[in-house]
Structure 1
């Protein structure tokens, strides 16, 4: 690990290429030529630096300015959390900003810098509602997991396999909607179309930042339409209107509480839909499959240790599953943190320098200039070999014990260090602790019922695909 020793100053290396054409060339390389990871690693090798300049998609037609300073190590990446030096205004999706038509004409909290007045109002509102509903988290999630596991078991028995993602999407949307609205989406005008409607709404906003990987479509055709022209809101308007109407009709007291804080009802409702759909549901679509993928890859040996720990704690607590009980499960906690480290749900972080300031990597210091767009690729920063032993391996025990817990300050999945808490002054995810709790609960529910399982995994537009091949309980 790095020390506090003086490091040599270096000019930030890298090139943006020719105006306009350089950004297009980099976009083609990023999506189709080298691929995401090679795009970054090749430049690390070329410049002998984890800090350099490059272009980030989507490019000149939709990006305000595709030029960024890239941070790829665990130390330089931390600069993106310092909101005294880095502005977070309209940088959620990086160099591209979706139309506010997708959010009712409002810039939602995720797009606000902490210096903007509404950021504090909205984030305080979010933190308050989560605090008031903390007693519902475990029973609601356990109910959803019981249904998910029952469906998994039935599908494996009848078909020989089961898509975890489909069941997870349904369970995640149900959990989020019930938590905020107090009823199931099937009891509203949404019916069972919530996940599909949310997926289309999400795709409309994020499509310029992804590739579909359609083998029957030439890459240049996909690139032309997906990365040069944003999807107009009217194509998904009917889906969003249906989602918004269902939330507005059932949020009830939450909207009254928002009004008491000084928020307009319409703005509060659009922000809650964004929180539910983009932040919560969108995050759960990525986080839970990644967790199961990596724990599944750990095999029967890891599963046996997790099952033994979980069952021993639950027996000691006389069957009660509480936050205190979950906190006693050190291996389970570590297994969750390790999944969040190795495959963070949101691998990108952006910010714009408010002033000239110095950042450091392990080898050098660099001067960032006021106004420059800063970009961090978390999927490399949290696999920094100077911080983590065997960084590309999933090591479930990595964060167990005193030494392991010290490493948590380099786990950044929540837009902040794992050792810090979300506040109105920062951009850390307000549901950070809830996500960690739900991940632990997911493992608890699995291993209270089953001894081991087998999965196959692949890639989706958002996160990993996971297919269950077996669920085994040796006592049955």
Structure 2
């Protein structure tokens, strides 16, 4: 299989017109929106179209398609062969497409278009992304001890809640831990020592909600769908609704992140104000928002492996740490083959940011496994990693969580793991691409949470479900390490 996603002279695959259409003006995207949120759901919306068109490349309206200036028409790429064209910033414009076919007002971010909305062709992108890379590099010695401290508090609270109530809702505990970790990493102190106190996670959630509301459904009964659709998916909420929580967050970061802002101002020539709005976005939207989805999904899938997987993980983790005299180091984590594979498999089957968008900068030819297609300049391209990561022509039993999938010879499959806005294998975040600057940190802390968990516990059970854009996890039982 070719690893290239586009070619001017594809490998003898037929050139076909892109199937699908956008329906009647206005009514077409309303129908697709209802299918996506209410009548079919996020997964079957795409599955039924793949079956209908017998193609993993097709035209559709991508919800929400809200009625403010927004064009919901996209070309969906739902296989591992065509999807990577989105990463080619010489051919695809990544400007203002973080949230899809709409962009929240810059009033949510102090009037600045923060780095996540910039295309690499824009001068400020390289400055900001280089700043984030330098900031993360300056903190790398803190990653492991700081995360260990954060998870230790979380596990104590988990045990206390489980003992008191007979169950423990993991998402809230994980959110608290995630915000504390992100804030202390970037600001050098616990948020409890600032005016935020323990309110940080709820303030960030309040700030995030109106920006992401067009992507959300509460799962209400269908007779309420019309009202919910109007309230959530029809227009953008004004930023003044969350002006107060955002100001509290901004003030806390501005006052606490002096060294991070000094770096931005002194080495990269950024104003402290612009740097702080960007730093808050990285910590709140990217880091906290990402971990809010990442950790419940990871725990859910590890729980699904049952006692056998738990035994294998704890045996590997404890054996490696015994060799390293109990010290959790980068070198020790690299030796944990199964632990690494489990993290990659969770990122494959439930990526925290499943959708990617971009606009063709020129006429381009892309290829799926079966055909080639021409995309015209200016057309919006959409990739869904929930399908790309389950491409049956790449992954065996793609709908199943296979803990050992990326171990041994399975490591070769990492070139088809795209969770980070780029390939897990070979691709690296640079100022010239849109790959997540915290890619390696995400993998690290995902391994760390499993290490810290299985040092303390032997096995566990959960009830799992869905909440808004991700998984919900409630612990039912927890067996301490024997």
TM-score where L is the length of structure 1: 0.98
* Cα separation, partners in 2 of 1:63 and 1:467, compared to 1, 3 Å: farther
| Partners of 2:265 and 2:271 within 8 A in 1 | yes
Alignment of 1:459 with 2:474, yes or no, is no
| Partners of 1:165 and 1:289 within 8 A in 2 | yes
* Aligned-residue offset at 1:215: 3.4
Q: Per the alignment, in what secondary structure is the counterpart of residue 54 of structure 1?
A: strand
Cα deviation digits, residues 347-368 of structure 1 (max 9, x gap): 1000000001111100001111
| Partners of 1:63 and 1:95 within 8 A in 2 | no
Alignment of 1:242 with 2:248, yes or no, is yes
1:407 to 403, 407, 413: 413
In structure 2, runs of 5+ residues without a counterpart are 4-9
* Aligned-residue offset at 1:217: 6.7
Q: Per the alignment, in what secondary structure is the counterpart of residue 236 of structure 1?
A: helix
| Partners of 2:264 and 2:275 within 8 A in 1 | yes
Q: Per the alignment, in what secondary structure is the counterpart of residue 218 of structure 1?
A: helix
Q: Per the alignment, in what secondary structure is the counterpart of residue 95 of structure 2?
A: coil
For residues 175 and 60 of structure 1, what CA distance do their matches in structure 2 show? 35
| Partners of 1:2 and 1:362 within 8 A in 2 | no
For residues 446 and 474 of structure 1, what CA distance do their matches in structure 2 show? 10
1:262 to 259, 269, 272: 269
Residues 68-467 of structure 1: matches in 2 within 5 Å? 68-215=74-221, 218-260=224-266, 261-401=268-408, 403-419=409-425, 420-467=427-474
For residues 307 and 390 of structure 1, what CA distance do their matches in structure 2 show? 25
Q: Per the alignment, in what secondary structure is the counterpart of residue 198 of structure 2?
A: coil
For residues 276 and 452 of structure 2, what CA distance do their matches in structure 1 show? 33
* Cα separation, partners in 2 of 1:443 and 1:60, compared to 1, 3 Å: closer
For residues 122 and 343 of structure 1, what CA distance do their matches in structure 2 show? 29
For residues 301 and 332 of structure 1, what CA distance do their matches in structure 2 show? 14
Q: Per the alignment, in what secondary structure is the counterpart of residue 451 of structure 1?
A: strand
Cα deviation digits, residues 188-243 of structure 1 (max 9, x gap): 11111100000011111010111122339710011111111212111111000100
* Aligned-residue offset at 1:463: 1.0
For residues 423 and 75 of structure 1, what CA distance do their matches in structure 2 show? 23
* Aligned-residue offset at 1:157: 1.3
Cα deviation digits, residues 400-423 of structure 1 (max 9, x gap): 01x211100111111000011101
* Cα separation, partners in 2 of 1:155 and 1:60, compared to 1, 3 Å: closer
In structure 1, runs of 5+ residues without a counterpart are none
Cα deviation digits, residues 103-123 of structure 1 (max 9, x gap): 000000000000000000000
For residues 369 and 150 of structure 1, what CA distance do their matches in structure 2 show? 55
TM-score where L is the length of structure 2: 0.97
* Cα separation, partners in 2 of 1:473 and 1:346, compared to 1, 3 Å: same
| Partners of 1:356 and 1:368 within 8 A in 2 | yes
Q: Per the alignment, in what secondary structure is the counterpart of residue 358 of structure 1?
A: strand
For residues 60 and 259 of structure 1, what CA distance do their matches in structure 2 show? 38
* Count, aligned residues: 474
* Aligned-residue offset at 1:296: 0.6
For residues 373 and 126 of structure 1, what CA distance do their matches in structure 2 show? 28
| Partners of 2:129 and 2:437 within 8 A in 1 | yes
For residues 201 and 60 of structure 1, what CA distance do their matches in structure 2 show? 20
* Residue matched to 1:469: 476
Report the aligned-residue RMSD: 1.2
* Larger displacement relative to structure 2 (59-68 or 342-351): 59-68
Cα deviation digits, residues 262-292 of structure 1 (max 9, x gap): 1121111000000000000000000111100
| Partners of 2:463 and 2:475 within 8 A in 1 | yes
